[in-house]
Amino acid sequence: MTTVAAEKWEEKFEMVVGLEVHVHLKTKTKIFCRCSTNFGAPPNTNTCPVCLALPGALPVLNDHAVELAIRTGLALGCGIETSSIFARKNYFYPDLPKGYQISQFDQPLARNGRIEIGARLDGSPITIRISRAHMEEDAGKSIHDRFPGASAVDLNRAGVPLVEIVSEPDIRGSEQAEAYVRVLKQILEYADVSDVNMEEGSLRVDANISVRKRGESKLGTRTEIKNMNSISGLVRALQVEFARQCAVVDAGGKIEQQTMLYDADANEVRPARSKEGSHDYRYFPDPDLPPLVIPMERIDRIRSELPELPKARRERYRREHKNLTDYDVDVLTANAAMGDYFEQVARQSNDAKTAANWMLGEVFAALKSTNQSIEHFTVRPADLAALLNMVRDGVVSHSAAKQIFGKMVATGDRPTAIAERDGLLKVSDDSALVKWIDEVFSEHPAEAERFVGGEKRLQGVLVGYVMKQSKGSADPKRVNQLLAERAAK
């Protein structure tokens, strides 16, 4: 319904979006203390004097968080500042123990990045600029619906390291917003800096959205939408807010700059109760933390250690495996582990196209039906490659290979062992084949008589019967030869 409402305006108005994405960095401990970042621990157990903001406690920066934040910035094409400043963002809320959040303000760690989120019809890339990526600490979690008449606070999350990635308002429309988040997630996953799990809150998105009449270049007044828990929620929230703003502007009204909350159940955006836009956060440099100074050599080292990113990998696959389609490449590079698996199978079977076909067919289906991830898949890439080599070498038939694969998924056993145990190796021993042919001839005497009598077109039917009799293990080539010999008699 909302989609229809949004579509109605699309010819006349353009949606302009900038996204602020918060991602948890994959550190074992918090950004300013040594508490665990483990998700799902009992409330308030991952806490200490520092993250509880007890009197006298002081922050000490976690160097691994810095490492991952630099890697994040570099993966997004940003420049890394050799000196950046932690600042205090002051506001009162029970899940913010110090009464301020340590963040970075006018001197962030990383600036001026860009990512490609797709291509236009003419093939030119759609590039979204990233204005900055900065480090900060997460707040705790307020729980308002668990205890009647009271709110509860869980400070396990307080102090978990975050990078906030702020895009320029370069995103046009909810489809691009979706693509941006997906591409961003993919890059962060490849860079191995975050779990990017929206359900667990390790990736959160706030959207700044404005509308303008098509053809206008001036930006309209924006609103900020918060509280979107999924990519589909982001898309719906943008569409709902787009339609709302269009209706206001179309009627000659003005958009009020404010913070909106998205209600997924009602599929509505509503103004936040407290007008956050009017907050004065009184930022100032945190005197407890010296400037974050990063030597150029460290930046260079992290750059040189940066894992291959999705775009580079896609280009390499296209270059190295010319018989793969664009679709194959996109699916195989959806995440780094999938591509790693594919590459091992392709290398050890020396046949990228067949490896890709198996990945997209059997492997995906098996992962889905057994609810496994590729990282922990019961079938090792070397074993899948061995199976493909058995098919190529004529040791097993294609249909037998599918049976073997099913058993590999279930047991993790090696394909040769399964084939031998279950008698799925191709049988080309004449005595066994002759026995099966004899059995077929006695079960189907009419067809056998006609075939021997010269009706050659029945050969295929008879081969099929033999294959069935042998449960797929007969070597069809030899069966054909033996049958041809009988007809010639």
Partner 1 sequence: MTDVLELPASSLQMAIQAGKATARRAVDASFDRMRDVGAGSGALNILLYQDRHDALARAIECDADSAEWQARPLNGVPVVVKDNIATSVMPTSCGSRILEGYVSPYAATAVQKLTAAGAIVVAKSNMDEFAMGSSTENSAFGPAKNPIAPDRVPGGSSGGSAAAVAAGIARIALGSETGGSVRQPAAFCGVVGVKPTYGRVSRFGLVAFASSLDHVGVFGKNVDDAALGLETISGLDPLDSTSAAEPVPSFRDAAHGGLTGIVIGKPKEYFPDDLDPRIRERCDAALDRLKSLGAEVRDVSLPHTKLAIEVYYIIAPAEASSNLARFDGVRYGCRVDGDGLGAMYEATRSNGFGAEVTRRILLGTYVLSAGYYDAYYRKAQQVRGLIARDFAKVFSSGVHLLFTPTTPTTAFPLGSKADPYEMYLSDIFTCTANLAGVPAMSVPIGRIDGLPVGGQFIATHFDERQMFVAAFALERALGADALK
Instruction: Name the pairing type of β-strands 259-263 and 223-228.
Output: parallel
Binding segment for partner 1 among 190-198, 234-242, 277-285, 397-405 (CB under 8 A)?
277-285
Within 282-341, the residues that bind partner 1 by CB under 8 A are 282-284, 286-290
Q: Which C-beta is closer to partner 1: that of 42 or that of 454? A: 42
CA distance 270 to 237: 10
Q: Smallest distance, Å, CB 141 to partner 1?
A: 14
In angstroms, what CA-CA distances link 274 with 232, 260, 267, 277?
26, 10, 21, 9
Is there binding between residue 88 and partner 1 (CB under 8 A)?
yes
Q: Smallest distance, Å, CB 376 to partner 1?
A: 38
Q: Which C-beta is closer to partner 1: that of 57 or that of 126? A: 57
Binding segment for partner 1 among 45-53, 65-73, 372-380, 406-414 (CB under 8 A)?
45-53
Find the Cα–Cα–Cα–Cα dihedral 217, 218, 220, 222, rounded to 10°: 100
Q: Smallest distance, Å, CB 31 to partner 1?
A: 12
Within 100-119, the residues that bind partner 1 by CB under 8 A are 100
CA distance 138 to 51: 10
Is there binding between residue 56 and partner 1 (CB under 8 A)?
yes
443 exposure class (CB count in 10 Å sphere: 0-12, 13-18, 19+): exposed
Residue 223 contacts residue 209 (beta carbons within 8 Å): yes
Is there binding between residue 386 and partner 1 (CB under 8 A)?
no
211 exposure class (CB count in 10 Å sphere: 0-12, 13-18, 19+): buried
Q: Smallest distance, Å, CB 26 to partner 1?
A: 23
Instruction: Please list the residues that pair with 114 across neighbouring strands.
Output: 129
Q: Smallest distance, Å, CB 94 to partner 1?
A: 5
- String of contacts with partner 1 for each residue 151-180, x by CB under 8 A: x-x---------------------------
CA distance 177 to 198: 15
Is there binding between residue 49 and partner 1 (CB under 8 A)?
yes
Residue 100 contacts residue 289 (beta carbons within 8 Å): no
Q: Which C-beta is closer to partner 1: that of 157 or that of 185? A: 157
Q: Which C-beta is closer to partner 1: that of 98 or that of 185? A: 98
CA-only gyration radius of the chain, Å: 31
Is there binding between residue 276 and partner 1 (CB under 8 A)?
no
Binding segment for partner 1 among 159-167, 278-286, 335-343, 408-416 (CB under 8 A)?
278-286
CA distance 117 to 168: 14
Binding segment for partner 1 among 52-60, 205-213, 215-223, 454-462 (CB under 8 A)?
52-60
Please identify which residue in 122, 265, 280, 485 interacts with partner 1, judged by CB under 8 A.
Answer: 280
Please identify which residue in 24, 30, 98, 236 interacts with partner 1, judged by CB under 8 A.
Answer: 98
Please identify which residue in 16, 29, 59, 65 interacts with partner 1, judged by CB under 8 A.
Answer: 59
Please identify which residue in 92, 149, 251, 265 interacts with partner 1, judged by CB under 8 A.
Answer: 92
Q: Smallest distance, Å, CB 87 to partner 1?
A: 10
Instruction: Please list the residues that pair with 206 across neighbouring strands.
Output: 20
Is there binding between residue 53 and partner 1 (CB under 8 A)?
yes
The contact set with partner 1 (CB under 8 A) reads 49, 52-61, 88, 90, 92, 94, 97-100, 151, 153, 280, 282-284, 286-290
